[in-house]
Structure 1
Amino acid sequence: MIAPTIPELVARSASHPFLGEHLAMGTGAHHAEAIASRRGVEMLSAYEPIYDISVHGGVQSLTADLTSAARFGDELGFQAVTLRDEGGKIAPFDPFSDTLDDPELVALDRCVRALHTINFLGSQQHGLLFLRVHERLLKSVKYDHGRHFSNVLVSFGLNPGRVVIELPAAAVAHRTFVGYLTKSYQRYGFKVAGNLPNAGQILSVSDMARLDFVKMDASSALRDSMVKPLVSYAARLRIPLIFNRVMDLAQFELLQQYDVRFVQGPVFATQNSAA
């Protein structure tokens, strides 16, 4: 089934008791996408690709042919990134701060997740959408994590199965808590990814509820010489392992030596810009 378009989804949000106040179609250069406005801040969507570099024969070189470097493999999915329009200048933006009270944090998080999902699925984008969830939101919502968001998506005609809820490292560090969160989000149709606070934490993954993905900071894994054991253990668990925050060509080439499959990070945006 083809998902509704972005204008159709924005129109449907107009009748939602909360989203209708904050979501609208953009104007000018952003006329074809949804924007969110809250407390005087205009927020936009961007997406960072997560590549499967095992396709097309595996090993690739980012420096071999920059004219064809727009693709480094097939995209597993995309990580949503929030942007802010600062007087016509678009820049990455973290809408969450320690000064927000819990109700405002929950409302803002729901608004941003809805924005990114509408722009992603409404543009008929392929692959999975990875959405980060703030640690304090996880603690502020006492039970049934994922129920509200799932109900919103289903009412809009969208499939929660296309969305991966990405749990922060602080939540993954608590075995019982991450087990509960994983089961709850999966019960409402979402997939779940967990960010490892450190490489050793993967040893606890098998004791948790079944995560759909595990993410690890590439710089930390390379620094601690943990890439090979991480890849090996994740393969035994049969859980896809994504190395994120790949910063430069040297890191990318080192990761390839260990048969890493999924990667994301600033280096790919740099190479795409160069192409």
Structure 2
Amino acid sequence: MIPPTIPTLVARASDHPFLGKHLAMGSGSHGDFALARFNDLELTSGYEPIFDISVHALAQSLSSDVENVDRFGDELGFQAVTQRLDAAPFDMFDAFDRIGDDQQLVSLDRMSRALHAINFFGAQRHGLLFLRVHERLLKSVKYDHGRHFSSVLTSFGLNPARIVIELPAAAVAHKTFLGYLTKSYQHYGFKVAGNLSNAGQILSVSDTARLDFLKMDAAVALRDATVKPLVGYAGRLRIPLIFNRVMDEAQFEALQQYDVRFVQGPLFNAHYHDRAA
């Protein structure tokens, strides 16, 4: 079966009343990918790589070979980031916070997730696609979390199993709610990741919420000297742990002193995009 292209997926999105109004192919220098138009903004997709650094031995320091991004390891996948087409600073979650109407929030989230899926799968990217979910969205949708997005993906001919729904720390903190959300998204074919605001929050994760991934801020874990216990506890849970927001070489080298496997952050983004260019 031939994988669908971005134009093919945009054409399929036109069959959806809401998505058809807001998603379109770009033009000119932006003609290779899909755009979303919402409230006078033109939005597109960015992707932050998540590396599996256990794939290759990293004996050399980062500074000794900054040109060779491949030595970070293999990409587990990518986290989608909503960006303005004009490259002006934009934070999707800040935009969400300014929206008072819950239904508009749901619509904007569905639009952005469809946009990222189209640009990801249509470009035949490999690995998993991580998509963040705003806390208010989780509360605005009363039940069957993941049902609508799964049906959209299926209509596009895309597989929900390659998408990781990334839950905020506020949801992870509530064990019962976390268990419900995880089971609901997984029921509709998705994988689920949970963000930790601190090391102690990992105790909320149990057999009632069999998350597929955990994510933790690298700077917070290093500051609190909790990298080693986090890695150990996540290992006992058998849940892969991703240290994100790795800012610089010092943090990266510090993480390598432990059995850290997955990393993500600004340090890797710049080198990855330099290679892609």
- Which range, TM-score by smaller chain? over 0.9
Is the 2:246–2:266 Cα contact (8 Å) retained in structure 1?
A: yes
- Cα deviation for residue 201 of structure 1 reads 1.1
Q: Find the aligned partners of 1:177 and 1:98 in 2 and give their Cα distance.
A: 25
- Cα deviation for residue 69 of structure 1 reads 2.7
Letter in 1 for 2:186: Q
More off after superposition, 90-99 vs 247-256:
90-99
Identify which of 91, 94, 99 aligns with 1:93: 91
Q: Which runs of 5+ in 2 are unaligned?
A: none
- Cα deviation for residue 204 of structure 1 reads 2.2
Q: TM-score, normalised by structure 1?
A: 0.95
Q: Find the aligned partners of 1:59 and 1:186 in 2 and give their Cα distance.
A: 38
Letter in 2 for 1:189: G
CA distance 1:229–1:63, change in 2 (3 Å): same
- Cα deviation for residue 186 of structure 1 reads 0.1
Is the 2:247–2:265 Cα contact (8 Å) retained in structure 1?
A: yes
- Cα deviation for residue 147 of structure 1 reads 0.2
| Number of residue equivalences | 273
Match of 1:130 in 2: 130
Letter in 2 for 1:228: K
Q: Find the aligned partners of 2:199 and 2:59 in 1 and give their Cα distance.
A: 24
More off after superposition, 56-65 vs 39-48:
56-65
CA distance 1:59–1:211, change in 2 (3 Å): farther
Match of 2:144 in 1: 144
Match of 1:185 in 2: 185
Q: Find the aligned partners of 2:196 and 2:72 in 1 and give their Cα distance.
A: 25
- Cα deviation for residue 270 of structure 1 reads 3.4
Q: TM-score, normalised by structure 2?
A: 0.94
- After superposing on structure 2, the runs of 4+ consecutive aligned residues of structure 1 that deviate more than 3 Å are 89-93, 270-275
- Cα deviation for residue 58 of structure 1 reads 4.5
Q: Find the aligned partners of 1:116 and 1:273 in 2 and give their Cα distance.
A: 17
- Cα deviation for residue 97 of structure 1 reads 2.3
Q: Find the aligned partners of 1:26 and 1:70 in 2 and give their Cα distance.
A: 30
Is the 2:49–2:272 Cα contact (8 Å) retained in structure 1?
A: no
CA distance 1:60–1:47, change in 2 (3 Å): farther
Deviations 1:60-103 (A, max 9, x none): 521111222355100000000010123xx454432322333100
CA distance 1:145–1:218, change in 2 (3 Å): same
- Which structure shows the bigger proportion of residues in helix conformation? 2
Letter in 2 for 1:204: S
More off after superposition, 54-63 vs 72-81:
54-63
Matched residue SS, 1:83? strand
Alignment RMSD (CA, Å): 1.5
Identity, % of aligned positions: 71
Match of 2:248 in 1: 248
